[in-house]
Structures are given as structure tokens and as C-alpha cells.
């Protein structure tokens, strides 16, 4: 027997799910949200990313943190887990994409997207508390110097971020929603945004959309993962799930619903949809485009570790400035809080090259020429304090496909894997990104480094995995229609990064939020 029946069941509590939960509750619907991760309060977040149990999501090891790393054949993906989804671990940055985003990809021409989304972007900025970063960090100073060197100083600016600044460390009554939201504390500039804000300054979804939705009747079931959505003969859908309680077993759960919103992020939604498409008792009429048009922001992540000890690069919020290097590319300085040096274990000297032989030759050359610099990079006393990560992104397209396959990493069970698409795939090495990292390193006396998976295997990394359930006019063109309704399945919706149908070229959280706001605007109030 089902646990209960709902008007809507939402799978996932990230940006798309949180928007859906609030707007549906406001319209009078009975709504359940299912989230596989934990609930976190400020004191529950780890002080550093060395606390793997509370930072990493690896449930087979009973690590139930907010940060998940997924290693696939053609991409390494960083994503978030927990009540609040990616907002718990993301870098707070809220840019609006340029015009090209709205006029390319599978959704091009299906609506005047830039015009229709403008009001929803404004709502998303207000709800997420977008604020211009008020200070300047050492990394900003160096990046601005590079902007001057490149003749692009006028294209350098502070970021708009989802943070309450106020008075550092001082708690105040809700400053965003007329007192209806939770108490907030002014940002302390500790740099710990991506390990979870321990002070209540970061505008995570549990402090806006989800907070308000729960006050309006939203039910959230955490630590529970959905495994199936099936059509009911009586109408609507059955949602099957199981609770996850570490090593003590999984308890089955079942609900019924008139409607279901898939909002588990690309790794959750696309994985589930592919499984259901392959299941004759699942959703076999899903579009053949399911899992296609997987894209990133074509980004490059390069850490620069300085040999000098007079400057602290960990202060500020996660991302504090942005330099637009041309009309389709930009770079941002990224940081972790002092003591968060886990990534040093995964780094290797940045050695760009089109194939493994070239990269290894350059790597060995670097090791021979600068052995002391490399030693200081690996054994730096505080990696986060003396390392500035440079995040380079561009709007140029590169796509993959996701599919289900039997792999040794999943015990020969079917698991999610990547495959090359007809279009150009994302690249691990971008010459302009390498040039900027080398310029930055020269100015601070540092050494550039990338993930070993990039240097040794040429596999790019992304914190912005998008697509796989894209918008299309018909089921031959996409998985969902322009109102985010799943083709061939009335009552099913996709509202998360899976629905992003072109490369925004910027941090996508604001766009996911705005698109979900628009999708929910088409659903009428519940009839009494």
C-alpha cells in the first residue's frame, strides 16, 4: 500500500525542485519532496573538506556529506547532495547568461526565451538574495592586473552572489522576506561556501524557497532515493523509493501522485529516466533524446599554489570577481576556507596537450626543471590558504551522451556512463585558460596544477553538468516541451539542470531557478 497520495511528488530539492515546491504549495497543492541526502544545519557542515564523512557523498562508505564526485569515461562531475541540493555546495554566483544562450540549442525558436525569462530571472535574484560582492580579495587584485595586461580592465567586475553580508558574525532577524524567513548572520569572509556555510550567511535554498514552502505545507522526506516512477491504471503515477540509513539497510517506500516533477539534477534525473525508459513497466515511451545533449560550461579548473607565505588567498566568498576575456569566455577566482586541502591529493602539475604522450612529456619536463617548486606545491602547509583556483568558462558548445551500461565500477550492474556524441566533446585543456593560469602563477610566484584525471587521462572536469532531458518541439527533438512537460507522459515534468538546452557559459544556478519559475507559472491553482 502507498504511504499516501499527493497532488505532486517532487524528486530532488535543488534549485528546480525548491522552486517547484514553493510555487505549487502557494497554488494550494498537496506536495511531497523526496531527497536522497541529509538535512544540514549550520553546525552540521564540516569545518574543512578533510572531514570526509560530512563533506563527501559516498553512501557505500557511510559518507553522507554535501559533495559528490562522479568519474565517467569522458567527464568528471562535481555535484551537490542534501536538502537544498547544489545550493549547499555551490559557489553562490548568480550571473545572467548572454543573448547567445537564449537563441541556440534544441530550444531555439520555440519561444522568445530572453524576453519570457526576464521577469523570472528578476524573481530568482530576489528570492536568492543576489548581492554585489562588496570587497576585494588578493586574488581579485591579481586578476585585475591580468585584465590590465590584456587590455580588458573594463571587463573586470565583482560578482553577484547569494550571500547576506550585513555585519560580520552578527545575527539579525530575516532581512529578505519581511521577517517570514529564518534569522541570518553576516558573512565572515571565511571562504567556506563550498564546504557548507557554518554561519548562516549563505543564501542556500533551505533559507528561502524550501523554508517558505514548508511553512505552506510542503512535506520533505530526506535520506530517501526514488528508484521508479510507474503509470497507474487509475491515473497518475506510483513513485517507488527506499530510505537509506548507512549500513543498516534500506526500507521501501511508495507514494502515488497525480503529477511528478523530476528535479534531481542531471546525475539523478537522467540516470532515473534512462532506467525507466529501459523498463517496460516504467516509462518506455520517453523520447529517444533522453540522455542526449549533455553539456558543460566548457570549463577549465586550474589551481595555482604560491611559494610565498605573506598572502592569504582563502578569504572572501567562494567567487568574488569575474574577468570577461572575450565575448564568449570568462575566468573567476575560486577559493576554499583555510584548512580545506583535500584536493591536493588529486592534483598534478598542469600539463596541457592533445594526447597522453605530449602531456606526460611536459609533465616530466616540469618535474626535472622545477623539482623544488613541485615539492613546495604538494607539501604547502595550508593548501587552501596558499592556492587560488581559476575557473574558466565559455559558451562554445561541446556535448556528450549519457546511457546505461554494465561497468566494473558498479559491480557489473547497469550504471550511468558517458559516450561521445556527434558534436565536439568537452575538452580538458583550453589554451586561453592555460595562459591565464600561467600569468597568474608568474605574478604570485606559484605553480599551476590540475586534477590528475585531466593531466594523465585528458578527462575534463565540470561543476556544471547540464542537459540530458532538453526542451524540444516534439519527442523527436527533446524530452520535454517548452513548458517542461515530459513528451508522451501527461503530469510529468523536468525542472532542473537536465532541462538546460544550450550552453549558458556561466554558473547555471540562476538560470535553472528562472526556468523553473517559468515552468511553474503555467500550472493553474488547484481547483477546490
User: Quick check: 404 and 278 in contact, CB under 8 A?
Assistant: yes
- What is the reported pLDDT for 117? 98
**Tens digits of per-residue pLDDT, 97-149?**
999 999 999 999 999 999 999 999 999 999 999 999 999 999 999 999 999 99
Q: What are the φ and ψ backbone dihedral angles of 227, each rounded to 5 degrees?
A: -115, -20
Q: Return the DSSP state at 188.
A: -
Q: Report the distance separating Cα 166 and Cα 318, nearest Å.
A: 17
Q: Which among 506, 466, 501 is positioned nearest to 77, based on CA atoms?
A: 466
SS3 268: helix
* Region of poorest pLDDT, from 174-178, 351-355, 399-403, 438-442: 351-355
Q: Where are the domains of the chain?
A: 8-528
More confident call, 376 vs 402: 402
Indicate the class that CATH gives domain 8-528. Answer: alpha beta
Q: 327: left (phi > 0), else alpha (psi -120 to 50), else beta? A: alpha
Which residues make Cβ contacts (< 8 Å) with residue 466, sequence separation at least 6? 266, 294, 295, 296, 297, 497, 498, 500, 503, 504, 508
pLDDT band at 335 (very low <50, low <70, confident <90, very high): very high
Q: Report the distance separating Cα 14 and Cα 54, nearest Å.
A: 19
Q: Which among 127, 179, 163, 121 is positioned nearest to 22, based on CA atoms?
A: 127
pLDDT at 92 over 70: yes
Region 435-440 average pLDDT: 96
Q: Report the distance separating Cα 472 and Cα 481, nearest Å.
A: 5
The residues carrying an active-site annotation are 464
Q: Which among 28, 34, 476, 471 is positioned nearest to 237, based on CA atoms?
A: 34
Three cell numbers, residue 262: 523530476
Q: CA torsion angle for 13, 18, 21, 22 (degrees, to 10)?
A: 150
Which residues make Cβ contacts (< 8 Å) with residue 280, sequence separation at least 6? none
Positive or negative, the CA dihedral 364, 369, 371, 373 is negative
SS3 470: coil
Amino acid at each position: 500500500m502507498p504511504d499516501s497520495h499527493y497532488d505532486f511528488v517532487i524528486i530532488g530539492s535543488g534549485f528546480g525542485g525548491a522552486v517547484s515546491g514553493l510555487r505549487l504549495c502557494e497554488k494550494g497543492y498537496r506536495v511531497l519532496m523526496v531527497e536522497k541526502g541529509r538535512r544540514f544545519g549550520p553546525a552540521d557542515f564540516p569545518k574543512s573538506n578533510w572531514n570526509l564523512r560530512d563533506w563527501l557523498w559516498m553512501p557505500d562508505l557511510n559518507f553522507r556529506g554535501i559533495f559528490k564526485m562522479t568519474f565517467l569515461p569522458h567527464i568528471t562531475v562535481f555535484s551537490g547532495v542534501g536538502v537544498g541540493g547544489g545550493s549547499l555546495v555551490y559557489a553562490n554566483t548568480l550571473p545572467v547568461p548572454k543573448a547567445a544562450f537564449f537563441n541556440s540549442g534544441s530550444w531555439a525558436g520555440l519561444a522568445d526565451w530572453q524576453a519570457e525569462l526576464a521577469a523570472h530571472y528578476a524573481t530568482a535574484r530576489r528570492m536568492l538574495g543576489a548581492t554585489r560582492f562588496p570587497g576585494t580579495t588578493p586574488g581579485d587584485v591579481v586578476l585585475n592586473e591580468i585584465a590590465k595586461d590584456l587590455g580588458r580592465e573594463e571587463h573586470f567586475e565583482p560578482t553577484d552572489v547569494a550571500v547576506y553580508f550585513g555585519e560580520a558574525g552578527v545575527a539579525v532577524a530575516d532581512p529578505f522576506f519581511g521577517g517570514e524567513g529564518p534569522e541570518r548572520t553576516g558573512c565572515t569572509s571565511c571562504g567556506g561556501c563550498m564546504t557548507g556555510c557554518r554561519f548562516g550567511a549563505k543564501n542556500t535554498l533551505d533559507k528561502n524557497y524550501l523554508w517558505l514552502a514548508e511553512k505552506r505545507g510542503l512535506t520533505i522526506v530526506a535520506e530517501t532515493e526514488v528508484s521508479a516512477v510507474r503509470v497507474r491504471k487509475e491515473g497518475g503515477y506510483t513513485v517507488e523509493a527506499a530510505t537509506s540509513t548507512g549500513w543498516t539497510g534500506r526500507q521501501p517506500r511508495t507514494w502515488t501522485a497525480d503529477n511528478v516533477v523530476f528535479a534531481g539534477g542531471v546525475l539523478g534525473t537522467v540516470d532515473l529516466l534512462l532506467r525507466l525508459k529501459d523498463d517496460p513497466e516504467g516509462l518506455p515511451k520517453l523520447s529517444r533524446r533522453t540522455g542526449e545533449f549533455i553539456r558543460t560550461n566548457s570549463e577549465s579548473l586550474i589551481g595555482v599554489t604560491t611559494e610565498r607565505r605573506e598572502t592569504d588567498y582563502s578569504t572572501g566568498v567562494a567567487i568574488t570577481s569575474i574577468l570577461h576575456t572575450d565575448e564568449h569566455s570568462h575566468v573567476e577566482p575560486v577559493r576554499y576556507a583555510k584548512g580545506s586541502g583535500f584536493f591536493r591529493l588529486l592534483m598534478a602539475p598542469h600539463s596541457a596537450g592533445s594526447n597522453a604522450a605530449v602531456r606526460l612529456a611536459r609533465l616530466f619536463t616540469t618535474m626535472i626543471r622545477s623539482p623544488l617548486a613541485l615539492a613546495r606545491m604538494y607539501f604547502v602547509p595550508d593548501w587552501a590558504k596558499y592556492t587560488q583556483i581559476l575557473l574558466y568558462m565559455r559558451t562554445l558548445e561541446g556535448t556528450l551522451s549519457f546511457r546505461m551500461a554494465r561497468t566494473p565500477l558498479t559491480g557489473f550492474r547497469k550504471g550511468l556512463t558517458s559516450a561521445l556524441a556527434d558534436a565536439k566533446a568537452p575538452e580538458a585543456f583550453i589554451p586561453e585558460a592555460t595562459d591565464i593560469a600561467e600569468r597568474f602563477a608568474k605574478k604570485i610566484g606559484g605553480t599551476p596544477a590540475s586534477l590528475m584525471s585531466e593531466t594523465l587521462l585528458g578527462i575534463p572536469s565540470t561543476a556544471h553538468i547540464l542537459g540530458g532531458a532538453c526542451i524540444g518541439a516534439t519527442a523527436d527533438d527533446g524530452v520535454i516541451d517548452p513548458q517542461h512537460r515530459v513528451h508522451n507522459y501527461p503530469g510529468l515534468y523536468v525542472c532542473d539542470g537536465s532541462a538546460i538546452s544550450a550552453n549558458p557559459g556561466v554558473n547555471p544556478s540562476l538560470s535553472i531557478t528562472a526556468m523553473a519559475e517559468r515552468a511553474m507559472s503555467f500550472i493553474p491553482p488547484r481547483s477546490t
